[in-house]
Chain A
Amino acid sequence: GQNIDQPTEMTATEGAIVQINCTYQTSGFNGLFWYQQHAGEAPTFLSYNVLDGLEEKGRFSSFLSRSKGYSYLLLKELQMKDSASYLCAFMDSNYQLIWGAGTKLIIKP
């Protein structure tokens, strides 16, 4: 079967670093996505990984290990505006996206 899992909620401090983990199981894999979603708004694309390793994009980085079925999103120099839900999703062998339930990130001053 297929499944994907991420923590429900995390709390971090402004200026700090936070790592949001995502684990998945699937027989066919065509990449893993991270999206950011502010409350009441549409998700917006953050990153895509299809090969193992770390992809860095400004304050945000995303890591993938295909053999472990594991990804993480790393957010550095946290700002209050980073308070949002972070959604991970993998693309399966049918090119459908399977979404996690999202991790709500709370940033405290």
Chain B
Amino acid sequence: EAQVTQNPRYLITVTGKKLTVTCSQNMNHEYMSWYRQDPGLGLRQIYYSMNVEVTDKGDVPEGYKVSRKEKRNFPLILESPSPNQTSLYFCASSPRGGEPLSYNEQFFGPGTRLTVL
């Protein structure tokens, strides 16, 4: 089944304790992205990657790191989480970024609900 998976789905942690949220897609997509979603603010892009070893900052990159060593994986790293990073996080992928194709549908993972105390 074609899908984007994220782990963990739920996480409660404490301030300053490093954590990683994994994201993996099995559709051979080039483009992958991380979003956070907060009430009233919609989806905000954290980082995106056009392909392996290529990553770029989105709108709200502060406090986050990413890497893209393999095409299928795009982990999100919080080196020192803070309470303002409590949010719902989505990973997404699409066939290609950087081109206005006939459509460039993004496929979303199920989400990771993170609480930082």
Contact = CB atoms under 8 A, between A and B. Distances in A.
Interface in A37-51: 40-45, 48, 50
Contacts, number: 54
A99 B100 contact: no
B100 A50 contact: yes
B53 interface: no
Contact of A42 (B40, B45, B105, B110): B110
A105 interface: no
A95 B99 contact: yes
Interface residues of B, number: 24
B108 A48 contact: no
Given A91-B100, A96-B58, A42 B108 contact: yes
Given A41-B111, A42-B110, A101 B41 contact: yes
A43 B108 CA distance: 6
B14 interface: no
B83 to A, nearest CB: 22
Contacts of A96: 45, 48, 58
A99 B104 contact: no
Interface in A50-108: 50, 87, 89, 91, 95-97, 99-102
A13 interface: no
A89 B100 CA distance: 14
B50 to A, nearest CB: 9
A43 B91 CA distance: 11
Given A99-B42, A99-B43, A100-B42, A42 B104 contact: no
16 contacts: A8-B40, A30-B100, A31-B100, A31-B103, A31-B104, A40-B111, A41-B111, A45-B103, A45-B107, A50-B100, A87-B42, A95-B98, A95-B99, A96-B45, A97-B106, A99-B43
Interface of A: 8, 30-31, 33, 40-45, 48, 50, 87, 89, 91, 95-97, 99-102
Closest A-B pairs by Cβ, 6 of them: A42-B108, A48-B103, A101-B42, A30-B100, A99-B43, A45-B105
Interface of B: 35, 40-45, 48, 58, 90, 97-100, 102-111
